[in-house]
C-alpha cells in the first residue's frame, strides 16, 4: 500500500547521463581555453593598438607635461579592424562547432544541455551578452566562475544559456 502522505517522488537524470558518449570538459581545460582566448584577443586587438599608437606618434610627455596623442586615431582604427576580424573568426567557429579559438585549440566545445548543437544566437546572446551585462553586478564574475566547482561543472552563464561544455 502506498503512503498518501509521502512526498512526491521524481527520477532526475544526471547531466552527464543525458546522451551516450558525452564527456564534460575538465575544469582545467575550460580555464586553459579561456586564458588562451584572452591571450589571442590581446595579441590580435591590443597589440596592434599599442604598436600603431607608438609608430604613428604617441609619445609620453616629459615630467609634468601631457603626452602627444598624434596617431591615436589611426591606432584605434587599426584596433577596430582587428577586433572585427577577431569577432568574425570566433562567430564562424561558434556557428560551425560551438567553439571559440581557445576551445578549438583545447579540444572542447559548447552544446545544449541535452547534447544537441547550440545555436549561434544562444551562444552569442545568452552566454556572452547577457553574461556581460550581468558583469556590472559587483562580484558576479567571480561567482559565475566559481559555479564551475559544482557537480555539473556549469558556470552561471551555462545555466542561463542551458549549455554544457564537453570534450569535442
Average pLDDT over residues 37-58: 91
In what helix (H) or strand (E) does residue 17 lie, and over which residues does it extend? none
Q: What is the pLDDT of residue 19?
A: 59
Does residue 4 register a pLDDT over 90? no
Average pLDDT, the chain: 88
- Residue spans of the domains in the chain: they are 21-167
- Residue 10, Cα to own-chain centre: how many angstroms? 34
Q: Are 39 and 101 in contact (CB under 8 A)?
A: no
Its pTM surpasses 0.85: no
Grid cell digits, residue 128: 556572452
Residues 125-143 have pLDDT tens digits of 999 999 999 999 999 999 9
Looking at per-residue confidence, does 34 or 72 come out higher? 34
Question: Sign of the CA dihedral 68, 71, 73, 76?
Answer: negative
Amino acid at each position: 500500500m502506498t503512503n498518501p502522505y509521502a512526498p512526491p517522488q521524481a527520477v532526475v537524470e544526471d547531466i552527464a547521463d543525458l546522451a551516450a558518449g558525452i564527456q564534460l570538459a575538465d575544469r582545467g581545460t575550460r580555464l586553459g581555453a579561456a586564458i588562451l582566448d584572452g591571450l589571442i584577443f590581446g595579441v590580435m586587438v591590443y597589440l596592434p593598438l599599442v604598436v600603431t599608437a607608438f609608430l604613428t606618434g604617441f609619445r609620453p610627455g616629459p615630467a609634468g607635461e601631457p603626452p602627444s596623442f598624434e596617431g591615436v586615431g589611426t591606432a584605434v582604427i587599426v584596433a577596430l579592424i582587428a577586433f572585427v576580424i577577431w569577432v568574425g573568426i570566433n562567430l564562424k567557429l561558434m556557428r560551425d562547432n560551438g567553439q571559440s579559438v581557445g576551445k578549438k585549440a583545447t579540444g572542447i566545445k559548447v552544446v545544449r544541455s541535452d547534447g544537441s548543437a547550440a545555436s549561434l544566437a544562444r551562444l552569442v546572446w545568452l552566454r556572452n551578452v547577457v553574461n556581460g551585462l550581468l558583469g556590472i553586478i559587483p562580484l558576479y564574475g567571480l561567482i559565475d566562475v566559481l559555479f564551475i566547482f559544482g557537480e555539473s561543472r556549469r558556470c552561471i552563464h551555462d545555466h542561463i544559456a542551458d549549455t554544457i561544455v564537453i570534450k569535442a
